[in-house]
Structures are given as C-alpha cells and as structure tokens.
C-alpha cells in the first residue's frame, strides 16, 4: 500500500478525534510538517485552546500548554518571553479567539508578540453544539439563530485579519483556505512564512484558515467544502493583509 503522507516527527501516533470531513486534522498536519521541515522539533511549544482542538496536546509531539478559554495568546506570549529561543504557537478556533479571547488576540497583536497564531475559522461553535459564533455568516443557521444570522439582531461577522492588520504590531497576517488541494498547498506556504517570521524575530504573525464543519453545518463533507469556497470566501476573502518586509 502506498504511503499517503510522509512521516513527520511533530505528530504523535494518537488518532484524531475529529468528525468526518472536519479540516482540523489537515491544519494539524500542515503545522507539523512545517515545523518538522524547519528542523526545530526540539524547541517548539504549542498552546492548545478550548474548543474542538482542546486535545491538540495529544497530537503534537512537542511541549504543549493548555490555556483557559480564549487566553492562548496571553499564555503563548508569556512562554515566548520566558524562553525566547523557542518557536511558540497558539492554535485557536473562532469562538475561542474572536469571542471570549478577543481582548487577548488584539493586545497580543498590538504588542507585536513574537508568536504565531493558527486561527481556525469554521464560522460556528463546534464543540458545544453548533451555536452562532462571531464569524457566523449573515443568513447562516445555527442552534442559537435557527432562522439564520440577522445583522440587525446579531451584528455582522467579524473579519479578524482585516481588523488586526490595522494595528502596528503584526508582522504578517494572511487568510487561507482548507477547501481544496491547491488552497491547502497555499496554506502550508503561509505557515512557512509565518513561522520563519517568528524565527527571524519580526513579531506577531497570524494565519487564519477557513475550515469546514459538516456536523454542525448539517452538510455532507463535500457540501461543506463547497460552502467554504462559495460562501465563506465571499465574506472572508483570501490573501495577505499585512506583511512587514
């Protein structure tokens, strides 16, 4: 049988717990491959979120710290300050980062903390049953907006990359997608750039990854990928929003 993935020392042998069609596993794989290829396996510290990726510490073969809900950037900042020789990353979902953790991500970016944040945006609260998130699209349904999100009642989706790009602290901010193979390849290149920026001491970096949630979107995996490309990318356009040369 042909090997589908090349082996990476940055992932453990623990099987992912994610739902079928969820792209968290792809995001984990990309982070692991990039760090492995950089040759920094022995000096990486990751910070796990509260949310679907709460068990990330079981999957990444490096030192991991569990943070309280939304506090991953603050924890990552502290780790980097204490041990600046390490590559430090925080892995967060949209509810974790853009709701309860909004203050932490804004102030970390404003300070220019030399950390990398991997931001998974699937436009919904996944772990807690599919409630409306700060990134839920207008008209998109959830358990707390069964008739679809309404701007007049619920506000508009928050575009994290665009917002953080207005600050002086960030060195590199890009939004990518995990909806198809070409996009996944571009996502890996974005992660490479972000981690290299950190290695060079340039400051705060964030890669937002548009991700699918077939279970809570109540779609098949194929439908969810199409929704990511045809609906999410219209509201959250892909591209580089800030880059300090």
Neighbours of 42 (CB within 10 A): 9
Question: Confidence class of residue 5 from pLDDT cuts 50, 70 and 90?
Answer: low
144-183 pLDDT tens trace: 999 999 999 999 999 999 999 999 999 999 999 999 999 9
42-68 pLDDT tens trace: 999 999 999 999 999 999 999 999 999
Neighbours of 118 (CB within 10 A): 28
Residue 6's pLDDT is: 62
Residue 8's pLDDT is: 85
pTM for this prediction: 0.96
Per the DSSP assignment, residues forming a β-bridge with 120 are: 93, 209
pLDDT at 1 over 70: no
pLDDT at 104 over 70: yes
Least confident interval from 4-8, 86-90, 122-126, 143-147 = 4-8
At 66, give phi and psi (nearest 5°).
Answer: -90, 130
The residue extents of the domains of the chain are 24-243
Assess contact for 104 and 78: CB atoms under 8 A.
no
Question: What mean pLDDT comes out for the span 14-35?
Answer: 96
Instruction: Give Cα separations from 234 to 131, 146, 176 (angstroms).
Output: 21, 22, 13
Instruction: Give Cα separations from 52 to 22, 29, 120, 231 (angstroms).
Output: 10, 16, 10, 22
| pLDDT higher at 4 or 226 | 226
Residue 2's pLDDT is: 43
69-92 pLDDT tens trace: 999 999 999 999 999 999 999 999
Fold designation for 24-243? Rossmann fold (3.40.50)
């Amino acid at each position: 049988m042909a090997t589908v993935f090349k082996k990476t020392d940055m992932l453990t042998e623990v099987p992912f717990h994610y739902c079928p069609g969820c792209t968290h596993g792809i995001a984990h794989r990309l982070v692991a491959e990039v760090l492995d290829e950089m040759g920094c396996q022995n000096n990486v510290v990751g910070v796990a979120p509260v949310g679907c990726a709460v068990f990330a510490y079981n999957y990444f073969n490096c030192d991991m710290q569990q943070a309280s809900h939304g506090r991953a950037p603050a924890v990552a900042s502290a780790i980097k300050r204490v041990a600046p020789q390490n590559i430090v990353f925080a892995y967060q979902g949209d509810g974790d980062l853009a709701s309860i953790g909004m203050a932490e991500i804004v102030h970390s970016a404003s300070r220019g903390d030399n950390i990398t944040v991997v931001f998974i945006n699937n436009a919904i609260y996944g772990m807690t049953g599919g409630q409306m998130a700060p990134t839920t699209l207008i008209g998109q349904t959830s358990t707390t907006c069964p008739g679809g999100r309404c701007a007049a009642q619920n506000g508009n989706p928050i575009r994290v990359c665009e917002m953080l790009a207005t600050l002086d602290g960030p060195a590199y901010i890009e939004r990518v997608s995990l909806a198809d193979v070409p996009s996944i390849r571009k996502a890996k290149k974005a992660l490479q750039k972000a981690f290299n920026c950190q290695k060079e001491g340039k400051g705060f970096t964030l890669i937002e990854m548009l991700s699918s949630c077939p279970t809570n979107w109540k779609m098949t995996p194929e439908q969810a990928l199409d929704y990511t490309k045809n609906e999410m990318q219209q509201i959250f356009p892909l591209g580089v929003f800030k880059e300090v040369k």
